[in-house]
Amino acid sequence: MHLYFIETGLFKLDGGAMFGVVPKTLWNKVNPADENNLCTWTMRCLLIQEGNKLILVDNGIGDKQDAKFFSHYYLHGDFTLDRSLAKHGFHRDDITDVFLTHLHFDHCGGSIIRQGDKLVPAFKNAIYWSHSRHWKWATEPNEREKASFLRENILPIQESGQLKFVDSAMSASDASTSSVGATWPGGPLETIPNVIIPGLSVRLANGHTESMMLPQMEYKGRTHIFMADLLPSVGHIPLPWVMAYDMFPLTTLKEKRSFWEEAATGGYVLMLEHDAVNECCTLEKTDKGIRVGQMYRLE
């Protein structure tokens, strides 16, 4: 197995929204805001190469929205999905599977492109993977989260016939070994084993949004997990530092408490989707609770 990060660009989001109830006097030291109270974040995706499979985890914000939409997010930087794929010798037509952690626009906007007056899959040779509970949640959204689920990013995937659900594709043997990780008290993340390829598991988190999927795999002798929006950045490691975007912040708090214990004990490598500075980190137990251990690049 080979893992590569695919950078798709930088954008800005309100610092208060990203850090929830944490006072600005604290979070501004971790991720300084500009004069508009906006902080810079990246949209970092993961490419998994295994045998004849090339799996892209998330795909950024895309480029099909209008200027008014993009003006809210101040896209900048030199990264694009195509350039990042080319850096590693790949093209979007090589992608066999697109794994969507969840369907918020900054994670799945690159799934669909415009061809004239049509909306078509950006990865014409790929299967798109979601979770059936999350798909229902995204296509029948609540008023609070509705602005994050753009129909033009989501519905054309199903209309293309390229959509599959990880929970529907489970074999009987995998279903019998599916676990809620009962060893970790206080809110363990459900595990779905052997998704797409043997050894690629999915951990489900429900605080940020319903059934967000975190891919987990063994790589170079260590457990690696792509954290999506359960851990957007190293600044979100302290338990109360929960985004205002999370639908169920107390659920996120429980999930963090349980999984941080598991990750620190197991020496997991946590891969960060939105941290513009740090790619990977580990966690360690301290007198003040679980804090960041090492920070380093995937390569």
CATH H superfamily, domain 2-296: Ribonuclease Z/Hydroxyacylglutathione hydrolase-like (3.60.15.10)
Rg of the chain, C-alpha, whole Å: 18
- Report the greatest alpha carbon distance in the chain: 59
**What mean pLDDT is predicted for residues 38-63?**
98
User: Strand 97-99 to strand 127-130: parallel, antiparallel, or no bridges (unpaired)?
Assistant: parallel
Residue located via tokens 């990246």:
42
pLDDT digits (tens, 9 = 90+) for 275-294: 999 999 999 999 989 999 99
Is the pLDDT reported for residue 179 higher than 90?
no
Is the pLDDT reported for residue 140 higher than 90?
yes
How many whole angstroms separate alpha carbon 84 and alpha carbon 163? 24
pLDDT on residue 173: 55
pLDDT on residue 174: 66
Is the pLDDT reported for residue 221 higher than 60?
yes
Higher pLDDT, residue 270 or 185: 270
Percent of the chain scored above 70 by pLDDT?
Answer: 94
Burial of 155 (0-12, 13-18, 19+ CB in 10 A): middle
Ranking 67-71, 109-113, 182-186, 269-273 by mean pLDDT, the lowest is: 182-186
Is the pLDDT reported for residue 183 higher than 60?
no
**What mean pLDDT is predicted for residues 142-165?**
97
Strand partners, 6: 45
